[in-house]
Amino acid sequence: MTLRKVPVRVDLVIFAIRDGELQVLLWQRREAPLKGAWTLPGGFVEQGEPADEAARRILKEKTGFEEQAYVEQLFTFCDPKMDPRGDLVSIAYYAVVSASGESWDGTFHAARKAPKLVFHHGQVLDRGIDRLRTKTEYSTVPLRFLDDEFTLSEVQGVYEVLLDRQLDKRNFRRKILALEAVEETDDERRVGAHRPARLYRLSASRPYLLKEKGILFPF
């Protein structure tokens, strides 16, 4: 038996909410094969580097974001026929970043109306959208679309985009506060002539999953 030894890639679905919709960062190939075709950002894992670190490194290269971004492994594609550049393993991740970034390497596209992607990247994107939808039901991952401090209106805006419907403001506030998913800060933000809005942050006691306690986001 010949052992199959292959290079390992990480490929990233990088989500942000921009212009009131879920968007994904794409990149146009600058070299053959398929020069000009759209791809997900990605790169090869280096000698001695765990894949998780490679995903964080590439995320930083493409967006400038480090710890504040949420990164989660999605699925691994390992089929000798999937990539014309040769046999490889592609470990796919998805990342959730705030729209406030300024050093994007690539362009954003509506996630559900993205251009055709090369290789297996269309499947990766589909899995990313599906996972994000699932996590919207029982985790605080959607809050990672916001900066470290945010207003409750901003939180509501994120959920309205992800759920694709309008939510009642009073109900939404009552529920998100009851879940203890966010906590008040001492800061306020004034926008225009409105009353200053209280700023919140991700609750330290519930940093990620609400699933353990059997709580579904009831929005």
Binding site residues, a copy of itself, CB under 8 A: 1-8, 44-52, 73, 75-76, 78-81, 89, 91
Give the Cα separation of 56 and 134 in Å (integer): 23
Helix (H, G, I), strand (E, B) or coil at 215: coil
- Minimum CB separation of residue 39 from a copy of itself in Å reads 18
Burial of 149 (0-12, 13-18, 19+ CB in 10 A): middle
- Minimum CB separation of residue 134 from a copy of itself in Å reads 8
First to last CA, the chain: 54
- Minimum CB separation of residue 46 from a copy of itself in Å reads 6
Give the Cα separation of 60 and 104 in Å (integer): 9
- Minimum CB separation of residue 81 from a copy of itself in Å reads 8
Q: What does the H/E/C string look like for 49-104?
A: CCHHHHHHHHHHHHHCCCCCCEEEEEEEECCCCCCCCCCCEEEEEEEECCCCCCCC
Q: Computed from CA positions of residues 130, 158, 98, 40, in that sequence, does the dihedral angle turn out positive or negative?
A: positive
Measured from the CB atom, the residue of 44 and 66 that comes closer to a copy of itself is 44
Give the Cα separation of 78 and 88 in Å (integer): 7
Measured from the CB atom, the residue of 28 and 76 that comes closer to a copy of itself is 76
Helix (H, G, I), strand (E, B) or coil at 183: strand
- Minimum CB separation of residue 71 from a copy of itself in Å reads 14
Measured from the CB atom, the residue of 3 and 204 that comes closer to a copy of itself is 3
Measured from the CB atom, the residue of 78 and 99 that comes closer to a copy of itself is 78
Measured from the CB atom, the residue of 129 and 155 that comes closer to a copy of itself is 129
Measured from the CB atom, the residue of 30 and 190 that comes closer to a copy of itself is 30
- Minimum CB separation of residue 82 from a copy of itself in Å reads 8
